[in-house]
Amino acid sequence: MCAALGAFAIVSSGLAPSAVAADVQSQQWYLDAMDATGMWKVSTGKGVKVAVIDSGVNPETSSLKGQVLGDEVPKSVAYHATKDFNGHGTSVAELIAGTGAGGGLKGVAPGAKVVPYRIRLDGLKDKAETKKTPEAAEAIKAAADTDAKIINMSFGSPYLYPDEEAAIKYAQSKGKLMFASVGNEAEKKNDIGYPAAYPYVVGVAAADENGRVGKFSEHGEYVDLAAPGLKVPVWCDATFRAYCDEAGTSFASAIASASAALIWSAHPNWTANQVLRTLIDTAGRTWTKQERSNYVGYGMVRPRKVLENSKINPGSPSADPLSLENGKGVTGATTPPSPSAPASSQAPKDTSGGADATAASTSNSSDGNTQLYVILGAVLVVAIGGGAFAVARKRRTA
């Protein structure tokens, strides 16, 4: 996981792993910023299932009890789906659908359910266990054949894998809405990140409570949206005894997925294209919705703006809102010469020509939002550094 900025909910070793201090919820600044309480009066994400393809999900944390549908994971990819080896997948799941019970994290879409998938990522040391653990492509394809509407992929690689790309296309053909973290290595290589850069995947960048993009958040043509991803409380490790303040695009992807779940729950007859289009149309920005930034994409997710407008036009159910990006693809894609090839790729340059990426917040906006995100531009502004993840088959959590 990311380098922790500080543990604040340390639990005595004499207590159950799921016992955590209620203070963790006070650290979830983005819930107030997004007006979660107001949104939950309209939608909690009920009826929407989110496939979390990650390090596995622990269904026994206080916040996830009753929220994880482990029995719905296809048997072909079910190996240790409910055994999280590093805490990352469980954190992502709680950010999406945590109930907040027992003082745990409150998810942005607490009425949604999570379907867990465990894939080969850094941290799996045992060769036999790694061999039994599915590849990302297998999990994506399997999730596509379920009734989960959303697939969250908070992992990445600088390489384009044909089997993974094929699985993504298959999932898109099944009507799934897919979100992925863009990566945390902008300060080092700023490689193109996959699966975020595949067509039909929404690449999500990370921003802080002021709307500033994290200096670690990778940028390029594949960034589609931004979401809160700094100073986010998540599990410190797989002991599930403490939450830590961390930063990463993994968490931004989770919050974007949860935002989509809220909208889809309120509009169950919409397609993935319509849910995504309304997220894009209402995203916080100061430029026109037809333009995008290489740092924040089309802006900061604001699901509240969709939920509060009962007459919002979602557009054509079959028209891809990212048709331009998906049609031309991302320049500089790199395919691995071998599974153990060193990471290297050419990152695209920023073509947005915008000003600094900041955000204005207000407590008395005309629409009553507690804290309104207004992204003011597209050039990266340093916020808080985030740790990068190690690579396993050149895939890492982000």
Percent of the chain with pLDDT strictly greater than 90 = 71
The residue among 248, 213, 215 whose CA lies nearest residue 233 is 248
Indicate the DSSP class of residue 311: T
DSSP H or E stretch at residue 228: strand 223-228
Q: What is the mean pLDDT of residues 206-235?
A: 95
Asked if pLDDT for residue 375 goes beyond 70, the answer is no
Tokens of 309: 């407008």
CA angle 125, 95, 67 (to 5 degrees): 85
Check 18, 43, 54, 293 and give the catalytic one.
Answer: 54
Task: Report which of 360, 398, 361, 358 is spatially closest to residue 380, judged by C-alpha positions.
Answer: 358
Task: Band the pLDDT of 335: cuts 50, 70, 90.
Answer: low
Residue 86 confidence (pLDDT): 94
Q: How confident is the model at residue 263 (pLDDT cuts 50, 70, 90)?
A: very high
- Cβ neighbour number for residue 324 with a 10 Å cutoff: 10
Considering 181, 250, 265, 345, which one is annotated as catalytic?
250
361 band by pLDDT with thresholds 50, 70 and 90:
very low
Task: Give the C-alpha distances (Å, rounded to integers) separating 251 from 34, 152, 274.
Answer: 15, 10, 23
Q: Check residue 336 and give its pLDDT.
A: 55
- Per the annotation, the verdict on 250 as an active-site residue is yes
pLDDT score for 1 = 53
Q: List strand residue ranges (DSSP E) for 121-222, in order.
A: 150-153, 155-156, 177-181, 201-207
Q: Which residues of 134-162 are buried (b: 16+ CB within 10 A; e: fewer)?
A: bbbbbbbbbbbebebbbbbbbbbbbbbbe
Cβ of 129: how many Cβ atoms within 10 Å? 14
Question: What is the Cα 295 distance to its own chain's centre?
Answer: 16
Distance CA 224, CA 239 (A): 34
Strand partners, 189: none
In tens, the pLDDT along 222-251 reads: 999 999 999 999 999 999 999 999 999 999
Q: What is the pLDDT of residue 119?
A: 97
Q: Quick one: tokens of 146?
A: 């379920």
CA dist., res. 133 & res. 117, Å (int): 10
Neighbours of 209 (CB within 10 A): 18
Catalytic residue among 18, 88, 122, 253: 88
Average pLDDT (113-118) is 98
Q: Tell me: the pLDDT tens digits for 26-82?
A: 999 999 999 999 999 999 999 999 999 999 999 999 999 999 999 999 999 999 999
In this prediction, residue 38 carries a pLDDT of 98
Q: Catalytic residue at 54?
A: yes
Known catalytic membership, residue 219 = no
Token digits for 82? 């409910």
Q: What is the mean pLDDT of the chain?
A: 83
* 166-201: pLDDT as tens digits: 999 999 999 999 999 999 999 999 999 999 999 999
Domains of the chain from N-terminus onward: 6-397 (3.40.50.200)
